[in-house]
Chain A
């Protein structure tokens, strides 16, 4: 028998629907606005005439951006940082997490503490900056002149992700590992053939966390990569924002589209890859955050 809803339950339900609809739309609105503004005419954008839908549609802002070599440079730099950065961070984390998951590891507690302590206490940006500068000069002196490698290797490691992996590896039944060892598998084979396939979803989650933080990385790339041709997309967007808003305010802008449209077009281009992998993340990340009990 279906029970009739109490009046208080009904009110709460209606309020929930209303609130969530408004909240979800507000979350989405800035992105929709960015898309509209990137393809709207100059007057409509500058005089804030559009509210949601594009007006006087033009594609020149996108066209001028696509014909800009610096944009493609920045895009390929971001791809470089994301791909190599994710592979490096994930590789180091898998190896470390695997070793830490073994009960037979000596000084296991000490190693764990070594890791977890960095979650409690971080030196702060100025000491980190000095440290990265020193690293940079060491890298340069051994012949690594491309600062992108500094960003790839020195940055973006997260203790939390290693702990997620360690926990996942601990949950693999030891019988399977023993069976593999009896069959003559080496440590590396046990990891590659048993542990990695059995913790696929956690590894995917962690890989996505790494990939997204690499894609979105801004501050240290800006500080550490001195050659402007090596800088990633996020730095490029910010530079353009600083450059164009000034130009427009001073009335020195002569194109047929608004300077803002360029910024919005850049934003749209930078979030498209995330939107493409978003459905895959959706599936995994809830699991990852729950396993850790702590948010990323």
Chain B
């Protein structure tokens, strides 16, 4: 057995000598007679291991088994047989989606359109949705009265706790189209936007959600409404952790508001910003399918801007029952998504010693 101070030997304070770390010896023992000892250790401590079982089973059945279903993307589409009984087909589903050969021409176009939409929705979210909570946190910090501030915070967090169905129903109702049968005008927000001149009366009357040009804006603005307040919590916590003496020192040096922002606040919350940015970039490809589906269901006219990979593969599955193709699309999405998470995490660790996982 090799001995290395610190790892295997610990200082015995009573005698002032080094002795073996008993836990390490146990670990070595376990290594030595591996499975036998593993079995014995588990048997001796079976209650603890039993506690782990429900969690492992739940994750195995309903998180890892679906990954096994992903193998269907390599196989022939056969709706009758389960994945295990289908024969291996290779990469034709992937090739078809990516390159659009033969009968896949249309599907491939739609796949790339969905890929583009996924990226664009995330990218605009990063551009507009990400800075918003930081700004809110900076503004919250200016409000000295606790009651006023927490009152405002309560209002801004609230939408986060509402269901996607409620939020999308409200969006749909507030920008709904007017009715030609009854002569009813469009929803109240559409009317307001039209009278501000931001959209034409005609667009408002036909329904903002029916116009592909507005889907991305609707998605981002409703996204900010839902999450900006809640997401500001993390940044606000980082800002109030800044010691007041830092501001005082800056003020004595004659720093105005902008200089204080630049040299006191920003450096203090930078690591939080980096962490949140990594999370955001890492989840770039996992646009929530629920919200998109609820907003564009039955509105084929706006698929060109609204359909993302997950809703695309859902459509392929539900309308054409092509599980293999649908799985292939999700597989591509997921693999790129995982590379993004790992890549973003590695870059962050190298750049700032902040790592998420």
Q: Given the complex, which residues of A lie within 8 Å of B83, measured CB to CB?
A: 130
Contact of A125 among B169, B179, B310 (CB under 8 A): B310
Partner of B257, one of A6, A100, A118, A131: A6
Taking CB atoms, residues of chain A closer than 8 Å to B258 are 8
Asked whether, in the complex, the Cβ of A270 is within 8 Å of the Cβ of B166, the reply is yes
For chain B residues 297-339, which have a beta carbon within 8 Å of chain A? 298, 310, 313-314, 316-317, 323, 326-327, 330-331, 333-334, 337-338
Q: Are B56 and A111 in contact (CB under 8 A)?
A: yes
Contact (Cβ within 8 A) A135 B334 = no
0 or 1 for each of A219-235: is its CB under 8 Å from B? (1 = yes): 10000000000000011
Cβ–Cβ contact B142 & A241, under 8 A: no
> When the two chains form the complex, which single residue of A20, A242, A248 contacts B140, counting CB atoms closer than 8 Å?
A20
* A155 CB within 8 Å of chain B: yes
Q: Which of B39-47, B92-100, B109-117 contacts A (4 or more CB under 8 A)?
A: B39-47
**Which of A7, A33, A98, A295 has the largest count of B CB atoms less than 10 A from its CB?**
A295
B48 partner residues in chain A, CB cutoff 8 A: 99, 102, 104-105, 187
Do residues A122 and B179 form an inter-chain contact, with CB atoms below 8 A?
Answer: no
Smallest Cβ-Cβ distance to B165: which chain A residue? A234
Complex Cα–Cα for A259 and B151 (A) = 34
Q: How far is the CB of A254 from chain B (nearest CB, A)?
A: 13
By a CB distance below 8 angstroms, the chain A residues around B82 are 134
Q: Does B65 contact A (CB under 8 A)?
A: yes
Total A-B residue contacts, Cβ distance less than 8 Å? 281
Taking CB atoms and an 8 Å cut-off, the chain A residues in 240-272 that contact chain B are 241-242, 245, 248-251, 260, 263-264, 267, 270-271
Cross-chain contact A120 with B341 (CB below 8 angstroms) = yes
Is A126 touching B313 in the complex (CB atoms < 8 A)?
A: yes
Contact (Cβ within 8 A) A95 B161:
no
Contacts of A251 in B (CB 8 A): 179, 181-182
Partner of B173, one of A13, A106, A121, A263: A263
In the complex, whether B351 has a CB less than 8 A from a CB of chain A is no
Which of A120, A235, A270, A286 has the largest number of chain B CB atoms within 10 A?
A120
CB–CB A16/B289 < 8 A: no
Q: A99-B51, A124-B313 are in contact. Are A27 and B58 (CB under 8 A)?
A: no
Interface check B266, CB cutoff 8 A: no
Contact A19/B139 with A33-B188, A124-B334 known, Cβ cut-off 8 Å: yes
| CB within 8 Å for A135 and B62 given contacts A20-B152, A124-B70, A251-B182 | yes
What is the CB-to-nearest-CB distance from A30 to chain B, in angstroms, rounded to a whole number?
A: 5
* Contact across chains for B237 and A286 when beta carbons are under 8 A apart: yes
Query: Would B338 and A23 count as touching, CB distance under 8 A?
Result: no
Residues of A within 8 A of B229 (CB): 23, 27
Interface string of A90-129 (1 = CB under 8 A from B): 0111011011101011100001001110111111111111
Within 8 Å of chain B (Cβ to Cβ): is A210? no
- Whether, in the assembled complex, A60 has its beta carbon less than 8 Å from a beta carbon of chain B, the answer is no
A99-B49, A124-B333 are known contacts. Are A46 and B225 too (CB-CB below 8 A)? Answer: no
**B163 neighbours in A (Cβ, 8 Å):** 215-218, 234, 270
Which residues of A in the span 1-57 have a Cβ within 8 Å of any Cβ on B?
3, 6-9, 11-13, 15-17, 19-21, 23-28, 30-31, 33-34, 37, 46-48, 50-51
Which of A62-70, A171-179, A198-206, A274-282 is found at the contact surface with chain B? A274-282
Asked if B125 lies at the interface with its beta carbon under 8 angstroms from chain A, I say: no
A13 CA to B141 CA, complexed, in Å: 9
Q: Please tell me if B290 contacts chain A, counting CB pairs below 8 Å.
A: yes
Q: Would A20 and B143 count as touching, CB distance under 8 A?
A: yes
Q: Are A104 and B45 in contact (CB under 8 A)?
A: yes
Contact indicator A30/B156 (Cβ below 8 Å): no
CB contacts (< 8 Å) of A134 on chain B: these are 65, 82
- Are B314's CB and A286's CB within 8 A? no
Which residues from B are CB-within-8-Å of A285? 233
Task: Judge whether B16 is part of the interface by a CB distance below 8 angstroms.
Answer: no
Task: Return chain A residues, CB-CB under 8 Å to B251.
Answer: 3, 6
By beta carbon, the residue of chain A nearest B229 is A27
CB-CB nearest in chain A for B286? A122
6 residue pairs A–B, Cβ–Cβ below 8 Å? A131-B66, A132-B62, A245-B176, A281-B161, A293-B356, A294-B275
Kindly list the 3 A-B residue pairs having the minimum CB-CB distance in the complex, ordered from nearest.
A96-B55, A124-B330, A216-B163
Residues of B within 8 A of A (CB): 23, 30, 38, 41-42, 45, 47-49, 51-52, 54-56, 58-59, 61-67, 69-70, 72, 82-83, 135-136, 138-140, 142-143, 151-152, 154-159, 161-166, 169-170, 172-174, 176, 179, 181-182, 184-188, 191, 225, 228-231, 233-234, 237, 251, 256-258, 275-276, 279, 282, 286, 289-290, 293-294, 298, 310, 313-314, 316-317, 323, 326-327, 330-331, 333-334, 337-338, 341-342, 356-357
What residues make up the interface of A, taking CB atoms closer than 8 Å to B?
A: 3, 6-9, 11-13, 15-17, 19-21, 23-28, 30-31, 33-34, 37, 46-48, 50-51, 91-93, 95-96, 98-100, 102, 104-106, 111, 114-116, 118-132, 134-135, 153-155, 157, 159, 162, 186-188, 191, 212, 215-219, 234-235, 237-238, 241-242, 245, 248-251, 260, 263-264, 267, 270-271, 274, 278, 281-282, 285-286, 289-290, 293-295
Extra pairs beyond A16-B140, A24-B152 (5, CB < 8 Å): A20-B136, A20-B143, A24-B151, A131-B65, A270-B166
